[in-house]
Amino acid sequence: VYEYIVHRYQISKWLNINLQVKDSNCSISLAPHMLVTTMLSTIPDVVFGPFCDLAVAPVARLLHFQNIPLITMGAVSNEFTLQRQTMYSTLFRFGYRTDEL
């Protein structure tokens, strides 16, 4: 999909994309560790994922303080709505919350 979009819209001519893929294994400790390790070498403009609530929560809290957007299909727990302004201000969710199911 990435290659198709870059070719179709000729993105490489006007945008520099550095894509790094990580697997948090839905881990509450591994996900933030991987984020911090990545941020030691480069600060991302945006982070996509993780999906699992256990992994999203600490990553979203860290990114909140750096003002870096986090886009995920996860974060379905209502906690992410209740704490939206204080801890998850840069979190953008695409999907259902548990109170909507």
Q: What is the pLDDT of residues 50-66, one digit of tens each?
A: 999 999 999 999 999 99
- Cα(66)–Cα(41) distance, integer angstroms: 15
Q: Please report the domains of the chain, with CATH numbers, ordered by start residue.
A: 20-100 (3.40.50.2300)
State the Cα–Cα distance between residues 62 and 31, nearest whole angstrom.
11
Q: What band does 38 get if pLDDT is binned at 50, 70 and 90?
A: very high
- In this prediction, residue 78 has a pLDDT band, given cuts at 50, 70 and 90, of confident
Output the pLDDT for position 69: 96
Sign of CA dihedral 35, 38, 44, 46: negative
